[in-house]
Structure 1
Amino acid sequence: MPQTDWANTGAQARGSVIDEGLRTHMNKVYGTMSVGMVITALAAWAIAGLAVTTDPAGASVMLREGQFLTGLGETIYMSPLRYVIMFAPLAFVFGLSAMINRMSSATAQLVFYAFAAVMGLSLSSIFLVYTGASIVQIFLITAIAFASLSLYGYTTKKDLSGMGTFLMMGLVGLIVAMIVNIFLQSPAIMFAISAIGVLIFAGLTAYDTQKIKTDYIAHAAHGDSEWLAKSAIMGALNLYLDFINMFIFLLQLFGNRE
């Protein structure tokens, strides 16, 4: 009987340590993601402000009545550089995923923040296309949906790994459809892409949250603080991408254009 008590006490102590460590780990994930979101929002807003002017002097492109693109705006949105800006965030994602094991956690975090700034540059055009009120409204809707889905992924006892495989296959198909529609320019296909995209990234939000949790529990016993720090950064990156993509697709579906 005493042996059983000692065993139970030890198991409870280990469980308590993991629970406390998991809370700290998840706080690190959400904190890193939140800082990245702030960097992206500030970068997008600042760049959009520099890209537009009300002074027609020296401006050759009229955006709308009374607003013109500055030289910076023309370079970012109308020159071949726009393709580099469009795909630069993707290069950051693949680069960070491939090289994180060779980086320190501090370097990986700086790369993530640099990626967030580049994503802000890539997203700055939404301020030229959609109304400010619409952007704020869709952002708040996305935030509420994201928080609910992430909470579900964290608390559910259901194994979502099978759903994750299905969602990744859907994501590949979505990317192919988006590439094809660059040439077709079909509004109907774009609507379908946006609707399916919202569903895919909603599911990935729950899946990625659960994966962050299960990965921590699987590795916490090893006590590798450097691995856990990098894991938190990659978790923040995955949730950041889920949020951003869900926001963009919702904006395409329901946003009010200028």
Structure 2
Amino acid sequence: MVMATFRFYEELNDFLPRQRRKVEFSCDCARAATTKHMIEALGVPHTEVELILVNGESADFHRILQDGDRVAVYPKFETFDITPELRVREQPLRELRFVADAHLGGLARLLRMAGFDTIYDNNIHDAEVEALSEHEHRVALTRDRELLKRSGVTHGCYVRALKPALQLAEIFQRLDLSRSAKPFTLCLACNTPLRHVDKADVLERLPPSVRVARTEFLTCDHCHGVFWKGSHWKRMCALLDQIS
């Protein structure tokens, strides 16, 4: 056995028991234990980690721990570029796309509303989330810590809030999404890009009151839905203004 000292920073402490939060603590590690093995053994999913310093030097997930090592573990730094120091994965994701697990349908719709490509199906299984995260470089969103520990999930976020609007605010803050949001460019139901359409082309699909009051329309070529700036659009604008 070897002994190493750990210190976790910021929201990574949420995964730790209270006595280990925001303090240094020492623990026994199996011989040949890696940084990834110990970080996850202590309760923190590897997808929540963006930077590991061992004795002050950047290390990757495969670093074998030695007796006396001091390990500092940091969460994602999305507000500035840490690429020169990055060792735990090849590069941070800068074009953010998401896959949400089966329990986050409300969050998925809100992310689409904000213009972020988000795959969601209420029957999606953990293995599918893992595959989409790995092969399409999507950030996995979940409230299941074990899902984030799957090896194929290279980028992921553990969602702490319970209600969709609060979840959206949390993700916006943690991943600094305000600058890259493109509201009302994706279909909430299909995740397909919307396009402008002439009123005459959708007139028969509009409620009578909308035919009179509205002149600008968007449509989805997949589900053929038609969208306009009504009361729902105003509520969504107010939500985005609140969290941005």
Given the two structures, how large is their TM-score scaled by the length of structure 1? 0.22
Between the two structures, name the one with larger relative contact order (CA 8 Å, sep ≥ 6). Answer: 1
Higher helix share: 1
Given the two structures, how large is their TM-score scaled by the length of structure 2? 0.23
